[in-house]
């Protein structure tokens, strides 16, 4: 290679490397932006209550006030609130994983009259925010007599249009040959779904599980609408009530917020590998 050729090759390498560095820098800045509030929440939950409003942020408390946690938990029945949130979020997550998988399979791999319109109607429901459907949904739940019940809290979210779409898209990429090979091997439709299709959709299923758990774990507006009794209150409602009733130091509220973050983080950690692959599938981030 001529000297000028060598120079241009090394310049191209340098350019590529600097572009890589620039990308990493941008990602680091973005990650910093996401992590700072969480770190702030974490450290502030151990601060003394009166240090909360100081202008300068103290990242490492001079004294660690672990009692913020026990105080917050003793003032209000948060264990019950967490249990309620957990029951609702797990019920919705399991139901979404089951029903969205079945519906997605039907829409992805079977042709029936009007199948495209069924998909369009399902997708159309994605365009309507909860605020729009809140009153009619409330009236339905009220009509069922489900106010102040777990089924009232979870019912409207048991099958999610986004989940159906996500699973359909994931299954569309699975060649029909697998299904036909399994049919010839003697497998029935349910076995094909469970043993051939689902194992190939685990990333999408993991994304669906994390999303549906997260969305329902910290759901606020719907529980506020259908729950008036303390025994069915979920933790976001409990947190608001806690703030209103006790005017308690925000450090204790943040202690509850830290505890509330743990289940979602744990679920993400458990499913992390599959979720990371699934984000690519769903085009989500």
Residues that bind another protein (CB under 8 A): 175, 177-178, 180-187, 191, 196, 199-200
**Minimum Å distance from CB 179 to another protein?**
9
Give whole-number Cα distances, 245 to 146, 222, 224, 241, in Å: 27, 21, 16, 6
Nearest approach, Cβ of residue 180 and another protein (Å): 5
Q: Between 48 and 174, name the residue whose CB sits nearer to another protein.
A: 174
| Whole-Å CA distances, 141 to 127, 132, 133, 223, 234 | 21, 15, 12, 12, 17
Upper half-sphere CA count for residue 40 (Cβ side, 13 Å):
11
Q: Which of residues 82 and 105 has its CB atom nearest to another protein in the complex? A: 105
Cβ-based nearer residue to another protein, 178 or 268 = 178
Minimal distance, residue 116 CB to another protein, in Å = 16
User: Whose CA is closest to 40, among 250, 214, 242?
Assistant: 250
Which is nearer to another protein, 67 or 180 (by Cβ)? Answer: 180
Distance of closest approach, residue 229 Cβ to another protein, in angstroms:
46
Torsion of CA 64, 69, 70, 75, to 10 degrees: 130
- Residue closer to another protein by CB (options 94, 196) is 196
Q: Smallest distance, Å, CB 282 to another protein?
A: 20
Q: Which of residues 20 and 188 has its CB atom nearest to another protein in the complex?
A: 188
Nearer to another protein, 87 or 198 (CB): 198
CA distance 179 to 156: 32
Nearest distance in Å: CB 192, another protein:
10
CB of 268 to another protein, least distance (A): 23
Mark out the alpha helices in the chain (DSSP H runs). Answer: 3-44, 67-75, 78-109, 115-126, 130-144, 150-154, 161-172, 176-185, 189-191, 202-217, 221-226, 235-246, 250-282
Is-contact 242 72, C-beta < 8 A? yes
Nearest to 217 by CA among 28, 105, 77, 87: 87
């Amino acid at each position: 290679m001529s000297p000028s050729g060598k120079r241009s090759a090394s310049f191209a390498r340098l350019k590529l490397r600097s572009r890589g560095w620039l990308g990493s820098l941008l990602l680091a800045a973005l990650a910093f932006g996401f992590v700072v509030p969480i770190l702030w929440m974490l450290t502030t939950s151990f601060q003394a209550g009166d240090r909360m409003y100081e202008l300068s942020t103290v990242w490492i408390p001079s004294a660690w006030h672990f009692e913020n946690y026990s105080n917050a938990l003793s003032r209000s029945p948060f264990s019950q609130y967490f249990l309620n949130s957990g029951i609702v979020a797990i019920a919705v997550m399991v139901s979404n994983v089951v029903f969205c998988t079945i519906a997605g399979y039907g829409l992805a791999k079977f042709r029936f009259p009007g199948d495209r319109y069924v998909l369009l109607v399902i997708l159309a429901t994605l365009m309507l925010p909860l605020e729009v459907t809140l009153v009619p949904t409330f009236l339905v739940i009220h009509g069922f007599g489900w106010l102040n019940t777990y089924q009232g809290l979870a019912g409207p979210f048991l099958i999610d249009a986004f989940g159906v779409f996500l699973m359909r898209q994931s299954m569309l990429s699975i060649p029909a040959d697998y299904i036909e090979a399994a049919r010839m091997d003697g497998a029935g439709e349910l076995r094909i779904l469970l043993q051939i299709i689902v194992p190939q959709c685990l990333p999408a299923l993991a994304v669906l599980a994390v999303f549906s758990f997260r969305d329902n774990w910290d759901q606020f507006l719907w529980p506020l609408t259908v729950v008036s009794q303390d025994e069915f209150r979920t933790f976001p409602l409990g947190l608001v009530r806690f703030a209103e009733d006790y005017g308690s130091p925000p450090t204790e509220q943040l202690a509850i917020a830290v505890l509330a973050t743990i289940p979602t983080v744990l679920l993400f950690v458990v499913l992390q590998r599959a979720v990371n692959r699934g984000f690519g599938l769903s085009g989500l981030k």
